[in-house]
Structure 1
């Protein structure tokens, strides 16, 4: 993963009033920390930040953070957003090393068409939308894809079955469900009706055999 350069201005004033003034000017208050770097209050251009994090890697984009001419390899971590507008109001930048393993949240995407499930009017339930993984910063995948083509009603794809790239691991419970192929209410009702009909037929057949056996014994 190639990093994107983002310029961070140091020496910003702290406090809610100062932060509001920065946001009004189109800048986002931020903090830089990690790897022996003293935590520093900085600000970044809101538009440049949005562009940097709007690519295919999203918030896992590797950044070359330029702080007063000193470059740090960093990841955007805690992003606070405006509850109404959804814009970023504060961000924490974590300085990382290319050789260290870090944690990241990666989206889980479904690919393919579960035709067997569709034909039986079932539904594919996407239970786990994202996965916490561990990898080196340059090896964080953009997405974890799950192929649902061969799914049939009653099938479950679990974390242990996810095709993680080399060097990528997860501590999430391997038995946790990611995708479930479930029958619709109509399918369930039909199955229940068929089961009831089958049970009634078996009971009737059993009663007929008992009556026949009893009649034969009486004739003797």
Structure 2
């Protein structure tokens, strides 16, 4: 994972009104904390931060050039987005040091196509691992190419990069491949869904 440098500004105004003004100015309100230091309230450049997350994932490590202060190394810990408009509302950043190990959740991505007549259930989409702050994997890939009915993949079977230690239970089921249901088996469920949709439409008509 590459290191990203951002020029940020200290924030001196707080509250919802101040946060709205910060976002209107093209910046994202953020808080930097960790290592027993007092929290620092910052404004991040919205476009550059969004690009860093898009290119490096939600575990992006940032070098923050703070006006009037030394540079800080920070791990993106929590990103809060607006539930409807989907813009970034707030960011929590964790102060880290070079060589320090951190515990993070890393996405698990499936590749390939399972065998015919199968149903693939992706039971867990993230794994908790410990890694050096500047060497956090962007994702773990699991190939299900040609996987047959009965195939099960647990956390212990995922190949981890050197220096990365699994924190999740090794027996945790990540992928489960079962036999796909037949049309006859799906018929009762489809009939129930159609009946429910009909009731909803009828109720809406009556209210109208």
The 1-side partners of 2:155 and 2:184 are apart by: 26
Report the structure, 1 or 2, having the larger strand content. Answer: 2
2:178 to 171, 178, 182: 182
Q: Deviations over 1:147-176 (max 9, x none)?
A: 213521011001111111111112211111
CA distance in 2, matches of 1:63, 1:43: 14
**2:35 equivalent to 1:39:** no
Q: Which has the larger radius of gyration?
A: 1
The TM-score, its normalising length taken from structure 2, stands at 0.82
| Partner Cα separation in structure 2 for residue 70 and residue 94 of structure 1 | 16
Q: Which runs of 5+ in 2 are unaligned?
A: 186-208
Is residue 2:155 matched to residue 1:155?
no
Q: Gaps (5+ residues) in structure 1?
A: 190-220
Give distance in 2, aligned partners of 1:2 and 1:100: 16
Partner of residue 141 from structure 1, selected from 134, 137, 140: 137
For the aligned residue pairs, the C-alpha RMSD in angstroms reads 1.8
Point out 4+ residue stretches in structure 1 off by more than 3 angstroms.
none
Structure 1 length normalisation: TM-score? 0.78
Give the match for residue 214 of structure 1.
none
Contact preservation (8 Å) 1:122, 1:187: no
Listed as ranges, the matches of 1:33-112 within 5 Å are 33-55=33-55, 57-68=56-67, 69-112=69-112
Distance 2:184 2:147 in 1: 17
* Structure 1 residues 79 and 130, CA gap change in structure 2 (3 angstroms): same
